[in-house]
Amino acid sequence: MLKVTNLHVGIDGKEILKGLDFAAAAGEVHAIMGPNGSGKSTFAQVLAGREDYQVTAGSVVFDGQDLFEMAAEERARAGLFLAFQYPVEIPGVSNTYFLKAALNSILKSRGERELDAMEFLKLVRDRVKLVELDESLLKRPVNEGFSGGEKKRNEIFQMAVLEPKLAILDETDSGLDIDALRVVAKGVNSLRNEERTFVVITHYQRLLEYIVPDFVHVMVDGRIVRSGGKELALELEERGYAFIEQEVAVG
């Protein structure tokens, strides 16, 4: 589904990702953990197509296609979804309107029939339950005046409507209380299936108690330095990131 080879990425002349290798197959859930500033969010943004970054070396193949040949919207249409760490507020554009435009542009690009208003409403009503989001928020402008938890649930709600092949969750857990975290995790878990791949980026092990990953990776200074099963997250929780950073420094 996703294969990243020797990825080097910088911004304003400063290198952030320094030879990152990563691979995830269909149906797998991967967690990427790491200390602040290790490049986790940069990785997520580059995958989604943010143009502020310069890719200086390496390749990313997504579902058989060269990701860097695709514009941000083409990646979305091909089935890549990023749940933003900081969802953007868009005054004047209603959540429903935005999501309908997004879904229909994706369907259209695949040569599928676009949904009419009634079909869309039915889909939305069904999916909004997954994240226990108040339906009144759908009529409001995108993320405007939403609480932190509502913004994150709105991201998962969008994911549930757009049904991506690859979902990248960038610190979706940060700033959430335990109840909101459960709701978000429940939404994600209900979307898990054999075809869909998740990359869950997080700073804390806490989220992984609810979204149990198949693989855990540790990112330090722009590279994956350690990979393992879900028990690696527990080890990190107990010992902190420092021991890995030391290992990297020594090794």
Partner 1 sequence: MTPSETATLTAVPTLTAPRDPRVAAYAEHFERRVASLPGEGSVRELRRSAIERFCELGFPTLKMEEWRHTNIAAVVRGDFLPAPEHAAVTASDLEPWLLEGCRHAVFVDGRFRPELSALGEPGDDAGAMVGSLATALSGADQGLVSRHLGRHLGFDDHPFRALNTALFEDGALVRLRRARVASEVVPELAPKPLQLLFLATADATAARMNFPRTLIVAEPASQATIIETYATLGAGVTFTCPMTELVAGKGSVVRHYRVQAESTEALHLAAFASYFERDASYTGLVISHGGGLVRLDLHAILDGEGVDFRLDGLYVLGGRQLADHHLRVEHKQPHCGSHELFKGILDDQARGVFSGRIYVHRAAQKTDAVQTNRNLLLSPEALVNSNPQLEIFADDVKCTHGSTTGQIDADAVFYLRSRGLSADAARSLLTFAFAAELVERIAVPALRRQVEEVLYDRLPGGELVRAAQ
Interface with partner 1 (CB under 8 A): 48-51, 71-73, 75-77, 81-82, 84, 87-88, 90-93, 97-106, 109, 141, 158, 162
As a whole number of angstroms, the distance between CA 139 and CA 118 comes to 15
As a whole number of angstroms, the distance between CA 10 and CA 31 comes to 23
Closest separation between CB of residue 99 and partner 1, Å?
8
Closest separation between CB of residue 84 and partner 1, Å?
7
What stretches of 163-245 adopt beta strand conformation (E)?
166-170, 197-202, 215-220, 223-228
Give 57 or 72: the residue with its C-beta nearer to partner 1.
Answer: 72
Cβ atoms within 10 Å of 85's Cβ, excluding its own: 18
Closest separation between CB of residue 232 and partner 1, Å?
29
Give 61 or 70: the residue with its C-beta nearer to partner 1.
Answer: 70
Give 51 or 177: the residue with its C-beta nearer to partner 1.
Answer: 51
Q: Report residue 30: phi and psi, to 5°.
A: -110, 135
Q: Does residue 157 contact residue 133 with C-beta atoms inside 8 Å?
A: yes
Q: Does residue 20 contact residue 224 with C-beta atoms inside 8 Å?
A: yes
Give 23 or 102: the residue with its C-beta nearer to partner 1.
Answer: 102
Scan for tokens 């509502």, then name that residue. 150
Give 29 or 76: the residue with its C-beta nearer to partner 1.
Answer: 76
Per DSSP bridges, beta strands 80-83 and 90-94 are unpaired
Closest separation between CB of residue 245 and partner 1, Å?
31
DSSP 112: P
Closest separation between CB of residue 48 and partner 1, Å?
5
